[in-house]
Amino acid sequence: MPMNHIPIRQNEQKQLERLAAQRELYSAAKVYHGWQITLSVIAPIILSVAAIIWTATAPFAAAFGLLVLFFDLVVLEPAIKKKRAKAAKIQELFDCDVFELPASPLKTVDDITVEEVLTYYDAHRKIPTNIEKIKDWYPVSIGSLPLGIGRLICQRSNCWWDSRLRERYSSYMRTAGIVVTVLIIVIGVIANLSVINIVLVASILSPFFQFCMKQYTEQREAAQRLNELANYAKCVWSSAFNRDEIYAFENARRLQDEIFEHRSKSPVILDFFYNRLRDKDEDLMNRSAEIMIAEAQQQLTSQDTGNVM
């Protein structure tokens, strides 16, 4: 008999529908993010090279850069935030049910309708393997622990894995922003462009550089928040063995509030990079979770032995 129902609850139809819906919403947000990359990364690089070869195009390319900044601020970024916030709310509903946590009094998620969830679920399950990928979201072996302990391990695993992914992605973005910008400007100097044209080339690249540095800053800040949450979860987990269930419950609810806040605000990562970076980190996360589960089982066995004696 399991000591908690996390492994069972997470694979219930209602919960799979929620996981599929949040995945579909994040995918929609990533489509807008893809347009950001196309307009803010790919286009400026191509136009800056064109401006070096055909200097007469430089003023028009620079004007395009300004339009991109405006379009991103007014259209793309708000659309991403809207999809991301809705996905975070649906995932919060999933976690609260699976972890047997009450709805937070501080976070509003009751504006999500069943019809919305089913609409996004139907879109996500058009590829049959998508549903199989979201089963057993948390380790099945977590069911061998008391709910208060198992819940904290799941929360920490979520934070640690996402943090590692964002740290690596942010480093790539900073390197790309600096290297590409410097390289193209150097090429312009080698091509004997005038100072005015070099300034124009730099302005053409401004959406690209601004995008990379923004991604670096936001992803790094998100990773830092997650590291702090993971450390907090580990500290609470270590103390929970010697405290009552209320202690674990209250801290888990507090931690879940912060996880929801992070999901609502953190920038998305394109699936191309997500899939390339996740495998190693996901394996480490699962191994770390299994180690914590084994340690928890040993600790609980020691306590039971001590009580018997």
Q: What is the mean pLDDT of residues 123-129?
A: 87
pLDDT at residue number 278: 61
* b/e sequence 232-258, b meaning 16+ C-beta within 10 Å: bbbebbeebbeeeeeebbebbbebbeb
Instruction: Give pLDDT tens digits for 21-39.
Output: 999 999 999 999 999 988 8
Instruction: Please name the residues in contact with 225: beta carbons below 8 A apart, sequence gap of 6 or more.
Output: 258, 262, 266
Give the CA angle between residues 286, 289, 291 to the nearest 5°: 110
- Tell me: pLDDT of 90 over 90: yes
* Window from 80-84, 107-111, 262-266 with minimum mean pLDDT: 107-111
- Tell me: pLDDT of 121 over 60: yes
Three-class secondary structure of residue 241 per DSSP: coil
Helices assigned H by DSSP within 241-270? 245-265
pLDDT at residue number 304: 56
Instruction: Please name the residues in contact with 167: beta carbons below 8 A apart, sequence gap of 6 or more.
Output: 219, 220, 223
- Tell me: pLDDT of 2 over 60: no
Q: What is the mean pLDDT of residues 88-98?
A: 93
Distance of alpha carbon 104 from alpha carbon 111, whole angstroms:
14
Instruction: Please name the residues in contact with 25: beta carbons below 8 A apart, sequence gap of 6 or more.
Output: 83, 84, 86, 87, 90, 120
C-alpha atoms less than 13 angstroms from C-alpha of 281 in its C-beta half-sphere: 19
Instruction: Give pLDDT tens digits for 145-197.
Output: 888 888 888 888 877 777 878 888 888 889 988 898 888 888 888 888 888 88
Integer CA distances (angstroms), 294 to 192, 224, 243, 288, in order: 65, 27, 19, 10
Query: In this prediction, what percent of the chain has a pLDDT beyond 90?
Result: 24
Return the closest-CA partner of residue 88 out of 114, 105, 108. 108
Distance of alpha carbon 44 from alpha carbon 35, whole angstroms:
13
Per domain, the residue ranges of the chain are 6-308
Average pLDDT of the residues of the chain: 84
Instruction: Please name the residues in contact with 79: beta carbons below 8 A apart, sequence gap of 6 or more.
Output: 29, 32
Query: In this prediction, what percent of the chain has a pLDDT beyond 70?
Result: 92
Instruction: Give pLDDT tens digits for 276-294.
Output: 766 555 665 666 667 777 7
Please count the other Cβ atoms lying within 10 Å of the Cβ belonging to residue 86: 22
* Window from 39-53, 81-95, 281-295 with minimum mean pLDDT: 281-295
- Tell me: pLDDT of 64 over 50: yes
pLDDT band of 86, cuts 50, 70, 90: very high
Return the closest-CA partner of residue 256 out of 154, 112, 139, 126. 154
pLDDT at residue number 303: 61
Distance of alpha carbon 203 from alpha carbon 80, whole angstroms:
25
pLDDT band of 127, cuts 50, 70, 90: confident
pLDDT at residue number 98: 94
Residue 5 DSSP label: -
The answer to whether the CB of 18 falls within 8 A of the CB of 109 is no
pLDDT at residue number 309: 46
Integer CA distances (angstroms), 301 to 46, 68, 101, 294, 305, in order: 63, 61, 26, 11, 6
pLDDT at residue number 118: 92
Integer CA distances (angstroms), 254 to 10, 106, 258, 262, in order: 21, 10, 7, 13
